Amino acid sequence: MIDLNTENADLPTIWTVPDDLWEKVQCLLDRFDPPNKTGRKRIDARRALNGMIYRMRTGCQWNHLPKEFGDDASIHRTQQRWESLQLFDALWGMVASCCQELGGVDWEWQSADGCLGKARGVPKKGASTNASARTLRIGRSRASRKVSLSKRTEGHLGSR
């Protein structure tokens, strides 16, 4: 185990789940996501978690995951299932409490990483770059306006 009390000790970057951590994760998986009695057999959960860690560390797309982690679509489905079961919240709480016991948590501050995406359904501010937005739109063609104008004037002229 890593000694957290040494000054300026760099912790190694986690690319895969260590054995001692996996034992705790496996207990959470047994509680939150037990295997189905029927149906297709699930993928290896440890390889899937390692694939999720790799994807979050590198920022790669799902279809660019190395084959050593397994099928990218299966790993994505597993992550979606675990998110819906709130397994990651329980995992975060378990890791934070383990770090607290080791004295590795500084409660003065915490940082959380986020993900930014497009704001759907909100119009852009500023000048529009769309070419069709700059062109003047006419409801009817000029030829059809001439015809309708001549019909209106004929009726008015005949009534005088």
In single-letter form, the type of residue at position 144 comes to S
Alpha-carbon distance values, 36 to 33, 85, 138 (Å): 9, 15, 62
pLDDT tens by residue, the chain, 160 residues: 444 455 556 667 778 998 988 999 999 999 999 988 898 899 999 999 999 999 999 999 999 999 999 999 999 999 999 999 999 999 988 888 887 777 777 777 767 777 777 777 777 776 665 555 555 555 555 555 555 555 555 555 555 4
Positive or negative torsion for Cα 103, 45, 51, 55: negative
Q: How far is CA 44 from the centre of its chain?
A: 22
